[in-house]
Amino acid sequence: MKEAKAYNMKKIVLTLFISALIFSSCNQTNTEKAADPNQEFDVVILNGRVMDPETNFDGIRNVGVKDGKIAIITESDIKGKETIDATGHVVAPGFIEGHQHATDQFSRKVNLRDGLTTQMDFESGAGDIPKWYADAEGKTQSNYGMVVLATLARVSVLDGPEIAALGNDMGGLFSHTVKAAAVKAQQEGRKPGWSSTLPNKEEMTQIMAYVDEGLRQGALGVGVPVGYMTAGVTQYELYKYQELAAKYGRVTNGHVRFAGVRPPTEGQLGVQEMLANALVLDAPFMASHLNSNMDWEYTIPMINDARENRGAKVWGEVYPYAAGSTIASADLLTEAGMAQMGITYSSVSNLDGTRWDKAMYEDVRKNDPGRAIVIYNNPPEDIAKWLAQPGVVVVSDGMAIQDENLEYYDWEEPYEGKSVHPRSAGTRAKVLRMVREDKIMPLMEAISKMSYLHAKYFDELAGIPQFKTKGRMQEGMDADIVIFDPENVTDNSTYAPGMGAIPSTGIPYVLVNGVIVVKDSEVLKVFPGKPIRFPVQEKGKLDEIEIEPRVFDPNQS
């Protein structure tokens, strides 16, 4: 009996020993062994408060960066070619988001001052995917990625490819494409096709072929901003976008069809439609800016319940502002839509701060449909409530920072004098300021909502492999790092005319793929950003779905 007990004890000890070895191996992530602290690293970050939201590690450590990776996190002394003294600062994973529309150099520069190291646009996306990635290669500090934009597919088929070619992503779509489509429609005595036309079988097949080509070319998913096409996109068409994306195993992004809380056009429509499709298709779905549908108390728990309790591959996002920004021709700004939201003409303003009245409403929507505007439609006291909701990620929904002619600014332009929604410049610093001043959530949770949680969802739910090594402060992970002063970090951009692009302060250093891109709060002209993209496939998958839309003839009774 004693021998049996001794044998069992040896087995237990051996099992514990092996488990410890396995844990140690896993803890080293992608490295086969711990890095030698005596080597010279590319960059060392000394004496910072390292915070890792995946493991909840929080401690003063030195960080060594080598070959674009976090090579070591240690209490030992280390040396590098470049040294950053992070005393009194937090060293956190670089911030990530999938809802930043601005892709020009000036706007990216402003976002880097806010700590954004991986910048993508899932709500809208791009039309010509190969061109978009080629244009960004070697010219981008942050990591970059795109979905294919269903809106541009509809523009190309229903308004003309020459109209679609005027803009390849949200910046060009709003500033040039929408306006050109409206002018052409007026000349032909009709409404713009992209927003109002119910496509027949041939047209819908062409639309889906456009989207399929984007997916074949490596787009991260499909962006379907249904709220801009409420009269033109049927529930059947929404399902087909999601079905096609599901054939590739990729995410579809969408938001509410309407805004407001009154039936029959309540704020959760659109989200509900696409959530139901995702459940049926077992497909990933990302719900955009749930705070702005005026029904977030319902939609956020619904999305969380579907993911946590029903195995759905779904998640949602919020941003830290009470006002939204869109274009003047947005469907939600019909007079009926404004009544739904409980707002009036004066709840809308131009970027220069001029509030609308009925005459301006009619003039701008007719003659300048692509104009960017601000809508004041949510109570400010609700911001902290939706930010603190479990499971949501923080995004900006930032628009391109453009001049009065809707053209992009040059890199060397000053930050002052730019009128744009402040979320384009200050989103993450505002969240960190609210954590400090208003105690809206623990600091670790805020960092997670801006980094790790994005990476977790994009990896585990959307199947994007590059995110396995992002959003974490761990050895072996990508050296996308933000260094900020928790006691002083703040947003400085405001709604005031000329103050929308004032950079955040208190974020003196940002690294992307191990390269310092922000140094002493100055954005450097270095471009280490890498593409987030699926491999190009030899053949598309359009022939794997059937297309039989029902189109009613308005001339029939």
Q: Check residue 408 and report its DSSP letter.
A: B
Asked if the structure places residue 180 within a domain, the reply is yes
Q: Which of 18-22, 174-178, 477-481 has the highest mean pLDDT?
A: 477-481
CB 53 within 8 A of CB 482: no
Q: What region, left, alpha or beta, does residue 315 occupy, with left being phi > 0 and alpha being psi -120 to 50 degrees?
A: beta
pLDDT band at 12 (very low <50, low <70, confident <90, very high): very low
In a domain, 433, yes or no: yes
pLDDT reading at 420 higher than 60: yes
CATH code for position 246:
3.20.20.140
Are the beta carbons of 58 and 37 closer than 8 angstroms?
no
Q: Tell me, what DSSP letter sits at residue 371?
A: -
Averaged over 420-426, what is the pLDDT? 95
Residue 284, preceding peptide bond in cis (omega within 30° of 0): no
What would the pLDDT profile of 167-219 be if each residue is shown by its tens digit?
998 877 877 898 899 889 989 999 999 999 999 999 999 999 999 999 999 99
| Per-residue confidence (pLDDT) for residue 25, from 0 to 100 | 39
The answer to whether 508 and 110 have CB atoms below 8 angstroms apart is no
Tell me the helix, strand and coil percentages in the chain, rounded to 5.
Answer: 40, 20, 40
Please say if the pLDDT value at position 4 is more than 70: no
pTM value > 0.75: yes
Q: Which residues pair with 393 in a beta bridge?
A: 317
Question: Does the residue 21 lie in any domain?
Answer: no
Does 428 fall in a domain?
Answer: yes
Q: Per the domain annotation, does 35 fall within a domain?
A: no
In which domain, by residue range, is 183 found? 93-322+381-468+525-532
Residue 346 lies in a domain: no
Does some domain include residue 537?
no
pLDDT tens figures, 115-139: 999 999 999 999 999 999 999 999 9
The number of folded domains in the chain is 1
pLDDT band per the 50, 70, 90 thresholds, residue 31: very low
Note whether residue 396 is domain-resident.
Answer: yes
- What are the distances in angstroms from CA 434 to CA 48, 388, 440? 22, 11, 6
Instruction: Please state, rounded to an integer, the average pLDDT across all residues of the chain.
Output: 91
Q: Are 70 and 80 in contact (CB under 8 A)?
A: no
